[in-house]
């Protein structure tokens, strides 16, 4: 555990679908921030909300290796759900918890975005751009940045970025500790038992054996990539237990630590 004061916390879209979940999480952050002097950047997705908006609009949705294929004509709905509705719902809960949130997208967080793969449409991959980010200035003002995983390209195009990848890129940019708050307590082995630590070779074996699949595969690979870049462990833990966050910040071991 480094003495770094900034923690990048990625929350999944599921937090938005669970009454009170975001509020409970933000109350914990407000408490830790006050007691321990820690600072937080929240990065969020909103997959379930995007699904329901696209369904209401009559679009079929498809995924490829855990990433949502995002055709251009679906982007107004995807951006509206993520950067609009999900971001502002989270801001509302943060305000109730006593925090001072600022809603942003990846550009303000210091990241530019480009197309990941033609086949995925407007799915983006983000990269740091020197002197672009405002996160540290916002934190100095006592604000808590809430970053949606919507990216913007040099050509002005809008992109849907995987929120796990976005959180990892932000942690690298500001050299922060990284925690993925997910639907499960930890990464599970073939017997459905929680794994305390995972390294590259264990991850590759579990993916080959189809123990880690889908969204968790993306999350674990992203965590490993981030751990290697940050040169320290990255944590995967459950948002259903916000107290886990306090334990992690105090250096206790909960959830799964992905080792570089």
Catalytic residues: 10, 13, 47, 164, 219
Report the C-alpha gap between 174 and 166 in whole angstroms.
Answer: 13
- Which residues on adjacent β-strands are paired with residue 236? 180, 256
Q: Do 117 and 123 contact (CB within 8 A), yes or no?
A: yes
Sign, Cα dihedral of 44, 47, 50, 52 = negative
Query: Three-state DSSP class for 118?
Result: helix
- Which residues on adjacent β-strands are paired with residue 211? none
Q: Which two three-digit tokens encode residue 212?
A: 């880690």
Q: How many CB atoms lie under 10 A from the CB of residue 72?
A: 10
Report the C-alpha gap between 21 and 19 in whole angstroms.
Answer: 6
Q: Do 254 and 237 contact (CB within 8 A), yes or no?
A: yes
The secondary element (H helix, E strand) that includes residue 124 is strand 123-128
Which of 194, 168, 183 has its CA nearest to residue 260? 168
Q: Do 159 and 150 contact (CB within 8 A), yes or no?
A: yes
């Amino acid at each position: 555990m480094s003495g770094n004061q900034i923690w990048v916390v990625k929350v999944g879209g599921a937090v938005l679908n669970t009454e009170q979940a975001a509020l409970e999480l933000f109350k914990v952050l407000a408490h830790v921030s006050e007691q321990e002097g820690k600072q937080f950047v929240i990065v969020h997705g909103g997959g379930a909300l995007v699904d329901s908006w696209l369904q209401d609009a009559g679009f079929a949705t498809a995924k490829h290796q855990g990433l949502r294929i995002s055709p251009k004509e679906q982007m107004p709905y995807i951006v509206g759900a993520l950067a609009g509705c999900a971001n502002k719902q989270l801001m509302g809960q943060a305000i109730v918890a006593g925090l001072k949130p600022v809603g942003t997208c990846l550009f303000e967080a210091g990241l530019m975005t480009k197309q990941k793969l033609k086949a995925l449409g407007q799915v983006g991959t983000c990269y740091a751009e020197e002197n672009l980010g405002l996160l540290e200035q916002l934190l100095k003002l006592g604000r808590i940045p809430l970053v949606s995983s919507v990216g913007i390209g040099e050509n002005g195009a809008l992109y849907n970025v995987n929120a796990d990848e976005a959180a990892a890129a932000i942690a690298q940019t500001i050299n922060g500790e990284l925690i993925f708050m997910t639907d499960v307590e930890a990464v599970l082995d073939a017997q459905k038992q929680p794994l305390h630590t995972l390294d590259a070779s264990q991850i590759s074996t579990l993916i080959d054996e189809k123990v880690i699949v889908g969204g968790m595969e993306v999350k674990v690979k992203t965590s490993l990539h981030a751990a290697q870049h940050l040169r320290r462990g990255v944590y995967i833990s459950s948002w259903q237990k916000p107290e886990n966050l306090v334990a992690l910040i105090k250096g206790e071991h909960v959830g799964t630590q992905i080792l570089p």
